[in-house]
Chain A
C-alpha cells in the first residue's frame, strides 16, 4: 500500500482538488447518462403503448 492514512489518500499529495475533481465529475457524468438512458427507454415505451392503444381504439369505433 502506498498511502499511510485515509487523509493522505484524499489529499493526493496536495493535488486532491484536481484528482478528485476529475474522477468525481467523470463518475457523475456516467451516472447521469445511465439515468438519462433509463428515462428515455421508459418514455419510448410509454409513447409506443399510448399510440398503439389510440390506434386500436379508433379501429374499434370505425
Chain B
C-alpha cells in the first residue's frame, strides 16, 4: 500500500492514473448533481420561514464547504511537499487553487443573493462573511505568488508555506458563527446536535456537497495533467506520450502547408 503511494508520487506514474480517474469523478459529479437538483428543486418542500428563497442552500452550502475543504487539501499537499520534497505535491497544490478560488467566489456570490432578500443587505462585515472573503484572497494570493516565481521548485515552496499558514483561517471560518455574534445563521448540520432541517432538504444538500466534491476532484486531476506536461517537458517519457506525438504530427503537417 505504502509502496503504491510512493509509486504514484512520481509524476510519470501519476499522469496516466489521473487520466483514467478524472472521467470517473466527472461522471459521478454529473449523476449526483442531477439527483441532488431533482431532490432540492422538485421534492424538497417550501420552507415555513424563508419560502422558496431557502433553495439557495443547495448551492451555497456545498460551494462554501468545498471552498474550505479544498484549502485544507492544499495545505495537506503543501505539508507533504515541504517534508518529503516530492514534486507532485506542489503540482497538486497549484492544480487545486483555481477551483478553490472559484468556490470561494461562489460562496460569497450566492451568500449575497441570499442575504439581500433575507437580511436586506448584499454584504455585511460579519465574522463569517469577512473570514470567507479572506479565504478568497488567500486563494488569489496563492495563484499570484506561485505564478510570479519562475523556478517551479521555489514557487512550490513559497506557495506551500502560504497554503499552510492560510489554513489557520479555515477553522476560523467554520467556528465564526459560534465564537462571534454573527448575522449569519449557525450551522444547519452539526456533528453533535444532528440536523435542524427536514430530512429531504438535508439529503439534497449533502448529495450536492458530494457532487461538487467529485467535480473538484475531476477538474483538479484534469488540470494537474497539463501542469505535469509543462514541468516534465524535457523528459523522455513526455516525449513518448501518444498525445504528444500526435500533436507533433499535427504541427509538422501544418508547417508543411504553411
Please tell me if A61 contacts chain B, counting CB pairs below 8 Å. no
- In the assembly, what is the distance between CA of A26 and CA of B87, in Å? 32
Q: Which of A1-41 contact B (CB under 8 A)?
A: 1-3, 9, 12-15, 17-19, 21-23, 25-26, 29-30, 33-34, 37, 40-41
Interface residues of B in 165-221 (CB under 8 A from A): 215, 219
For the residues of A in contact with B, the DSSP-based class is helix
Tell me if A53 and B251 are in contact (CB < 8 A).
yes
Interface residue total, chain A, C-beta cutoff 8 A = 34
The bracket for how many chain B residues form the interface is 35 or more
Give the distance in Å from the alpha carbon of A22 to the alpha carbon of B114 in the complex. 8
Q: Taking chain B's interface residues, is the majority helix, strand, or loop, or is none over half, making it mixed?
A: helix
- Cβ contact within 8 Å between A1 and B63: no
Chain B nearest CB, measured from A23 CB (Å): 6
Q: Which residue of B lies closest to A49 (CB)?
A: B247
* A-chain residues with CB within 8 Å of residue B219 when the two chains form the complex: 33-34, 37
CB <8 Å contact, B109 and A19: no
CB B243 to nearest CB in A, in angstroms, measures 6
CB distance from B94 to the nearest CB of A (A): 12
Chain A CB within 10 A, most for which of B51, B53, B219, B227? B53
